[in-house]
Amino acid sequence: MGRGLIYICIFVLFAFMIFPVEKRIVHADLYIWTDANGIRHVSNVSPPQDEIAEQLSEDDVVFPEGQTFRVVRVFDGDTVRVTGMGLTFKIRLVGIDAPETGWKSKAGQPYGKAATDLLSRMVLDRDVVLRQYGTGGYNRMLAEVIIDGKNINVEMLEKGMAEVYRGKVARGIDMNRYKEAETFARQRNIGIWSLGKAYQSPRQWRREHPRK
């Protein structure tokens, strides 16, 4: 275990001793590196190509229930980056799948930009609480994003800017609320559901438009 992670764990364990709270365990590969400005980074996001990083595989990251993080970037309708406690995490909003945005010169799905814009308006530069459900593809933390008690994942479904994720369900998550939110939007032809028969699941769209 690297010294940076040891310091983080000591800090968190000290906090638990003072403020007894519920704990959650998250498994994620971590990277530790120091940039050209002398700033030390601890992140589950791969460092820039010109940085030499120490990789810590599948170490446990523990932080108090209710710990807030600041959303510093929105990638698309279901992926954000957050910072807090000296950590940087790339978060995949668990339980939902938003229409894909384009990359390079390739166009994305209908409502891909609209979903990104909506999520940005709701969470960018705001403090959020994360309910974690392990790690998904591309080493992203799977989490529910909560602001003032409101589940943003479910909000994206209710506003017709995402569908319920059709892959393997994260362990421990209650999907009933998610399915109800999608049904709400579908019955009212909101957002992506206004496309009718022209609508294509993001999962299917990715299969037909692989990134190369």
Is residue 30 within 8 A of residue 89, CB to CB? The reply is no
Q: What is the pLDDT of residues 107-132, one digit of tens each?
A: 889 999 999 999 999 999 999 999 98
Mean pLDDT (the chain) is 81
CA proximity to 129, closest of 71, 174, 72: 71
Active site members? 92, 100, 140
The pLDDT, as a whole number, for residue 209 is 80
CA proximity to 126, closest of 79, 199, 70, 210: 70
The pLDDT, as a whole number, for residue 59 is 46
Q: Could you tell me the two tokens for 179?
A: 């399915």
The pLDDT, as a whole number, for residue 24 is 42
Answer left, alpha or beta for residue 168, where phi above 0 means left and psi between -120 and 50 means alpha.
beta
- Maximal CA-CA distance, the chain: 56
Measure the CA–CA gap between 195 and 52, rounded to whole angstroms: 47
CA proximity to 89, closest of 33, 132, 35, 50: 132
Query: Which of 27-36, 46-55, 202-211 holds the top average pLDDT?
Result: 202-211
DSSP 35-65: -TTS-EEEESSPPPTT---EEEEEEEEEEET
The pLDDT, as a whole number, for residue 19 is 35
Domains of the chain in sequence order: 3-208 (2.40.50.90)
pTM for the structure as a whole: 0.73
Which strand (E) or helix (H) includes residue 79? strand 79-84
- 120-153 core/surface letters (b: 16 or more CB in 10 A; e: else): bebbeeeebbbbbbbbbeebbbbbbbbbeeebbb
Measure the CA–CA gap between 173 and 143, rounded to whole angstroms: 10
> Average pLDDT, stretch 19-32?
49
115 backbone dihedrals φ, ψ, rounded to 5°: -65, -40
Q: What is the pLDDT of residues 40-67, one digit of tens each?
A: 666 666 666 666 666 655 445 556 778 8
